[in-house]
Structure 1
Amino acid sequence: MERIVLGDAEIIRVVEWQGPFAPAGVLVPGVAAEHWKENEPWLAPDHWDPSADTCRAALQTWVVRHGGRTVVVDTGVGSGRERPNTPQFHRREGDLLALLAAAGVAPEEVDTVVNTHLHADHVGWNTVDRDGAWVPAFPNAAYLMPAADHAKLAALAGATAPTPAGDVPQTQLDEWRLMFADSVLPVQQAGQAVLWEDEYRIDDALTLEAAPGHTPGSSVLRLASHGERAVFVGDLMHSPVQLSYPTCNSCFCEDPVEAAASRLRILGRASEKHELVIPAHFGGAGAAEVHRAGAGFAITRWAG
C-alpha cells in the first residue's frame, strides 16, 4: 500500500493489478509513434514498454481519510462479473475488500463511495454476491454517482431494439446492461445511491465536479486541506503521454471534443493551483504534480 499525506488528509493507493494493458497506438490513437519515442526517457519503463510498444496500466482504488470521513474513490472491476465481451474483466476473481482490509479499511467504516463515472472498471466492487444476490459492498456508505451516466444506463437497461445509442455496437450495449444490473441498480434499490450533477460538495475538503467527455457524467474529485490540494481525475487520462498531448483522447472516450476540453481545463487548473493529479489507471507512479510546458503539460514530480 502506498500512502500520501496532504494537509490533514491521508490518501491510500490500493492496487489490484498492474502490468501491460494495450498497444500504445490503440489506447491513445492520436499520439503518433514518433511522439511516444520522443518521450521514452520519462515514460519507460513504468508507463510504456518501448520494446513491445505497450502501455502499462493499473486497476486500482484510492481511499481518502479526512476529518473522520473514509471515502473510497472508484471500485474496480469486481469479482465474478459476467463481461463476455471484455476478456480482461470477464469472471475476474479479485479481492479488493481483502486489500482494503490490509490497508486498515473495513467495509463498514466507509461512509462515502465515489464513482467518478459509470464504466465497468470503476463500479465493480460497488456490490458483492450474498446468497446469489448483488448487495452493496459498503453497507453504510452513500454512493455518489453522476446523474448523466446513470440516466444513459437506465435508458439502455429498459430499452428494446432499436436502442437509443446510435452506432454503439450491440456487444457494448449488452455489457453496459450487465454492469448496470449487477453494480449500479442494486445500490439504488438499497437506497444508497446519490445521483448528482454539475457540482456536489461532500464536505469542506472534498468536492465533486463534472468533467464530461469520457462519459456524459465523467467527474473529478477535488481535495483541499490546509493549503494542499489534489484532484482525482478518473479516466481523464489513461497514460501520462496525454500530459504532453492533452487534446489526444483514449480510445474509450465517448465524446472526444468534450473529453479534450475537460482535460485541458482540469490540467490547467491543477497546474495553476499546484494540485496533485491522481488518475485512475497510471501503471507506474499513480500521481503527479504538473506544470505547463508549451501546448501541453509536464511532470514536476511523481508521487504515490
Structure 2
Amino acid sequence: MTTSLGGQAVVLGDVEIRRVVEWQGPIAPPTAILPDSTRQLWQRHRDWLHPHFWDADEDLYRAAMNTWVLRSAGRTILVDTGIGNDKYRPYFPLMSYLRTDFLDRLAAIGVRPGDVDLVINTHVHADHVGWNTVLDNGNWVPTFPNARYLINKADADYWNPLNGTPKKAVVAGLAAGFGNQNMYEDSVTPILESGQALLWEDSYVIDEDLRLDVEPGHTPGSAVLTLRSGTDHAVFVGDMLHTPVQLLHPDLHSCFDEDQRMASTTRRRILSWAADHTALVLPAHFPGAGAVEIARDGAGFAVRGWAGFQED
C-alpha cells in the first residue's frame, strides 16, 4: 500500500483512492450517538479520541462527511455523496440548506461532474445521497450527468415515502424517518426518473477489483464495497462504523441503526474479515486520518495504523 498526504492518493493494487470531505464538526454528545456507551468509556480513551473523534472539552462526538473517490479500471467512482447543498431537512438543522464547496473540492483533485462514471450510495440516508442532485432552475437534477447511480433496491423501497414502511431507529426522540424527511424526493426520485439509477439486490460486481454486497442492519439495504486487488484489500463500510469506539466494542450500536442486533452482527463479521486480511477500513464519517487498519484484540479490535488521508 502506498500512502501520501496533502490530498494525494492511497493506492491499493490497481485502484487509486482519494478522500473529499464535504463537512466536519461536532454533532451531539457521544452517548447520544452510541446510546449504550458511557462517559467513562470515552474518557478512558481520551488520549487518542480527542480531538479528531471526540471534543472531550465540550463532550461532543465529531464526524466528517467523506466521499471516497476511486479510479478503477479506467472509471471514476464516487462512494457516498454527503449532505448536498440547498436541501431542506426540517428535523436536522445541521444539514438544512447547507452550502459547501464540495464540487470545487472534487475539481481540485481533477474530477468534474461529467467525469464521474459511477456513484455508489452505500445506503439511502440524507447524509449519503445529498450530492446525487443539484438545484437547477427550481428543479432537482442529477449532479453527475454521465454517471450510473448504484442504489440498493431494498433501501430504495424502504425509504420510499409512498411505501409507508415504519422506521425503527430513534434519533433525538424522533423516528429516523423524520430525520430523512424530504430526502427521497430531492435526492433519489430525480435519479430514478432520469433513468440513471441501477437498483441492485444481493450483490453487484463493478469490475475485477470491486464488488458490492448487501450487509444489512444499519438499514435493510446497507452495502459494503470490497476491494481486492493483487495482495491489497479494503472495505468501504458506510455507516457500519460511526466512531472508532465501535472497533473496541463492536456490539455498541448507533442511534441510527434500524436493526441493532443485525447491525452488530454485520459489524463484527466485516471487521473480522478486515482484521484477518489486513484490509483498510474506510467508513463514511471518520475525521482525522479517515481510514484504519485493525487487528483482533480480545472480543474486539485494535487500531494497527491509520491510512493518513489529510484532514481538510
TM-based fold match above 0.5:
yes
Greater mean alpha carbon deviation, residues 96-105 or residues 41-50: 41-50
- 2:92 maps to what in 1? 86
Contact 1:31 1:245 in 2 (8 A): no
Distance in 1, matches of 2:242 and 2:217, equals 14
1:28 aligns with 2:34: yes
Q: Residues 14-93 of structure 1 correspond to what in structure 2 (within 5 A)?
A: 14-93=20-99
Contact 2:158 2:165 in 1 (8 A): no
1:114 aligns with 2:120: yes
Give 4+ residue runs of structure 1 displaced > 3 Å after superposition: 166-177
- For residue 195 of structure 2, the aligned residue among 191, 194, 199 is 191
> SS at the partner of 1:91?
coil
- 2:162 maps to what in 1? 158
- 1:218 maps to what in 2? 222
1:95 Cα deviation after fit: 2.8
Contact 1:56 1:284 in 2 (8 A): no
1:268 aligns with 2:269: no
1:292 aligns with 2:296: yes
1:9 Cα deviation after fit: 1.4
1:41 Cα deviation after fit: 2.2
1:52 Cα deviation after fit: 1.8
What is the TM-score normalised by the length of structure 2?
Answer: 0.92
Greater mean alpha carbon deviation, residues 239-248 or residues 145-154: 145-154
- For residue 237 of structure 1, the aligned residue among 234, 241, 248 is 241
Contact 2:73 2:207 in 1 (8 A): no
What is the TM-score normalised by the length of structure 1?
Answer: 0.94
Q: Deviations over 1:257-281 (max 9, x none)?
A: 0110110011000001111000000
- 2:3 maps to what in 1? none
Distance in 2, matches of 1:83 and 1:174, equals 9
1:2 Cα deviation after fit: 4.6
Distance in 1, matches of 2:168 and 2:128, equals 24
Distance in 1, matches of 2:31 and 2:168, equals 23
> SS at the partner of 1:145?
strand
Distance in 2, matches of 1:197 and 1:96, equals 30
Q: For residue 281 of structure 1, what is the amino acid of its counterpart?
A: H
Q: For residue 276 of structure 1, what is the amino acid of its counterpart?
A: L
Distance in 1, matches of 2:95 and 2:49, equals 26
Using the aligned pairs only, state the percent identity. 49
Q: For residue 165 of structure 1, what is the amino acid of its counterpart?
A: P
- 1:130 maps to what in 2? 136
1:164 Cα deviation after fit: 3.6
> SS at the partner of 1:158?
helix
Distance in 1, matches of 2:42 and 2:181, equals 36
- For residue 254 of structure 1, the aligned residue among 252, 255, 258 is 258
Q: Deviations over 1:165-204 (max 9, x none)?
A: 1667887545545111110010011111111122110110
1:93 Cα deviation after fit: 1.1
> SS at the partner of 2:48?
helix
Contact 1:81 1:91 in 2 (8 A): yes
Contact 2:167 2:176 in 1 (8 A): no
Contact 1:289 1:299 in 2 (8 A): yes
Gaps of 5+ in 1: none
Closer/same/farther in 2, CA of residues 26 and 151 from structure 1, 3 Å limit: same
Closer/same/farther in 2, CA of residues 2 and 25 from structure 1, 3 Å limit: farther
Distance in 2, matches of 1:2 and 1:78, equals 24
Distance in 2, matches of 1:46 and 1:168, equals 26
Q: Deviations over 1:39-64 (max 9, x none)?
A: 22222222122222221110121100
> SS at the partner of 1:213?
coil
Closer/same/farther in 2, CA of residues 158 and 95 from structure 1, 3 Å limit: same
